[in-house]
């Protein structure tokens, strides 16, 4: 006979302290930062080989058990990279740094999602959407630092990954480009949630001619 109480017990979320402990423990052990792909070196040198891009992206953004969320991160990474390279061409910035940073700009979230998926498979507890989003956002910085260390990312790329979320024209130029490229990607992927005024303002700060950008991306 079907036992409703047993099903309810399985579906009930774990206490927050237990969830935090599981995710923090996995992060400390570094279990969910994948091995450094050999193709990364080609991208850092500015090689536009899309096979190398795909190899690096698949190492980070394929998450068994959280495929939908991982696909959203992958789409954001690939689109931001494409936009960042277009902006870099206009502003004459190095393609290697901007392209890799654009591709990896949400890598910390992807690694946090990998650890969360592993924790869920071990405990048979699946977090709801708000809890998943909050935990990945909260832990993405520590995973970003782990990725920077494990993948031996050059300092210019590391600076972008640490600072792209806040637009500052006085800091890393590449970080400002990736921030702007992320806005462009968000406009393309999720236009229903996008505020175009911010895009115009940041573009003006960077000295981007919208007509030139439209022709390039």
* All domains in the chain, ordered by first residue: 14-216 (1.10.3210.10)
Pick from 214, 26, 185: nearest CA to 105: 185
Nearest-angstrom CA–CA distance, 118 and 85? 34
Nearest-angstrom CA–CA distance, 213 and 97? 20
* Tens digit of each residue's pLDDT (9 = 90 or more) over 135-185: 777 888 889 999 999 999 999 999 999 999 888 766 789 999 999 999 999
Nearest-angstrom CA–CA distance, 20 and 143? 15
Query: CB within 8 A of 48, min separation 6: which ones?
Result: 95, 99
Query: CB within 8 A of 180, min separation 6: which ones?
Result: 83, 87, 167, 199, 202, 203, 206, 208
Nearest-angstrom CA–CA distance, 182 and 79? 8
Q: Which of 28-42, 90-104, 106-120, 187-201 reaches the highest mean pLDDT?
A: 90-104
In the DSSP assignment, the letter for residue 191 is G
Q: How confident is the model at residue 127 (pLDDT cuts 50, 70, 90)?
A: confident
* Tens digit of each residue's pLDDT (9 = 90 or more) over 69-125: 999 999 999 999 999 999 999 999 888 999 999 999 999 999 888 888 887 777 777
Q: In this predicted model, which residue has the larger pLDDT, 3 or 175?
A: 175
Query: CB within 8 A of 161, min separation 6: which ones?
Result: 101, 104, 105, 107, 108, 144, 147, 148, 153
- What are the start-end ranges of the H helices in 124-209? 129-150, 155-163, 173-189, 196-206
Q: Give CA separation, 161 vs 86, 128, 168, 170, 207, in Å.
A: 19, 27, 14, 16, 22
């Amino acid at each position: 006979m079907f036992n409703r109480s047993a099903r309810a017990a399985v579906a009930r979320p774990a206490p927050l302290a237990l969830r935090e402990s599981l995710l923090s423990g996995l992060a400390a052990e570094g279990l969910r930062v994948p091995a450094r792909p050999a193709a990364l070196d080609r991208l850092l040198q500015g090689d536009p080989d899309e096979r190398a891009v795909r190899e690096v992206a698949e190492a980070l953004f394929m998450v068994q058990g959280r495929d939908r969320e991982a696909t959203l991160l992958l789409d954001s990474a690939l689109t931001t990279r494409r936009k960042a390279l277009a902006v870099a061409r206009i502003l004459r910035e190095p393609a290697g740094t901007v392209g890799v940073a654009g591709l990896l700009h949400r890598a910390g979230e992807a690694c946090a999602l990998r650890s969360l998926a592993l924790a869920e498979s071990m405990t048979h507890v699946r977090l709801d959407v708000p809890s998943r989003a909050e935990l990945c956002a909260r832990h993405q910085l520590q995973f970003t630092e782990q990725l920077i260390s494990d993948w031996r990312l050059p300092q210019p790329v590391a600076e972008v990954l640490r600072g792209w979320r806040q637009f500052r024209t006085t800091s890393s130029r590449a970080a400002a480009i990736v921030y702007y490229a992320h806005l462009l990607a968000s406009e393309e992927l999720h236009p229903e949630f996008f505020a175009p005024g911010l895009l115009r303002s940041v573009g003006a700060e960077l000295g981007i001619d919208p007509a030139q950008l439209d022709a390039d991306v």
